[in-house]
Structure formats: C-alpha cells, structure tokens
Amino acid sequence: MYELSLLLIQARYGMCFPVEITRRWISNHRYCLVSDFSLYLTLTRTYFGKSVRATAQDRDAGNLMGINVERTYLIFFALSAALAGIAGVVAAVNYSVYPTVGFEWLLKAIIILVLAGFGKIGQVFAAGCC
C-alpha cells in the first residue's frame, strides 16, 4: 500500500530518491498532529485559552479583569510539560538517545522560533514541518 503511493508520488513529481514511510513514522506524525491541533483548539476556543493569551500580553490587566493569573500559569506550565513529554517520547522512538542529543533539538527549535515568530501557532507548525 505504501509502496504504491510512493511510486505514484515519484512518478508525478519526478523524484528519484528512495523515501521510506513506515507505520512508526505515520503513527508519530499522527500523535504530533493530534497534540498540535488540540493545543490550537484549547488556546483559541476555550476560556482557559483566552486567559492564557490575556496573561501573556499583560499580567496586571488580566488580573484586573478577574483572571486567576497564578492558576493560569500553573495549568499552562503543566500543559507545556505534558507536551514536552510527548515530544520526548516521539523523538526517542525514532532517534538514538545520547547525552548531548538535546543540543541538536534546541538548535532546531530556536531556528523554528526565529522563522515563525513568537505567538503564531500556525506558523510555528508550518516551520516545524520543514
């Protein structure tokens, strides 16, 4: 099934290099897409997301508007830690783990952040796919 679709892609776009798409690659990308999409929906469609965006812009104004800033920071820190854990598991499944592996990932993350800019989730996702 995967070989046929790859042959069609190679024939259509004139690619002459071998591309390997495994079930592990598909499942890892599925996990990443689900977590990215759920984070996007959480930050754009819920009251919690609105409070996160408000406190990120101005902590004092959010506090004056009745947002519990400390609780918002605490929950968002836990959410960030959970997403970092998901990313670590996905990366550890695909790549070998050694003591200095974090530097390569940190450099890639900084490059993605510079390309996409701060606070733009869709652009960060697009830059991360490159």
Tens digit of each residue's pLDDT (9 = 90 or more) over 94-116? 778 788 877 877 887 787 777 77
Mean pLDDT score across all residues of the chain: 79
Assigned token pair, 41:
């929906």
8 Å CB contact between 116 and 123: yes
- Average confidence (pLDDT) over 30-39: 88
Give how far Cα 37 sits from Cα of 16, 42, 95, 120, Å.
33, 8, 24, 13
Q: What's the average model confidence in pLDDT over 2-11? A: 51
Write out 33-54 in H/E/C secondary structure: HHHHHHHHHHHHHCHHHHHHHH
Q: Are 28 and 94 in contact (CB under 8 A)?
A: yes
Q: Is pLDDT of 52 > 80?
A: yes
> Domain segments of the chain: what residues?
26-95, 99-130
113-to-108, 116, 117, 128, 129 alpha-carbon distances in Å: 9, 5, 5, 9, 12
Contacts 24+ apart (CB under 8 A), 29-37: 31/86, 31/90, 32/86, 32/87, 32/90, 35/83, 35/86, 36/121, 36/125
Q: Which region among 36-40, 47-51, 115-119 has the lowest average model confidence (pLDDT)? A: 115-119
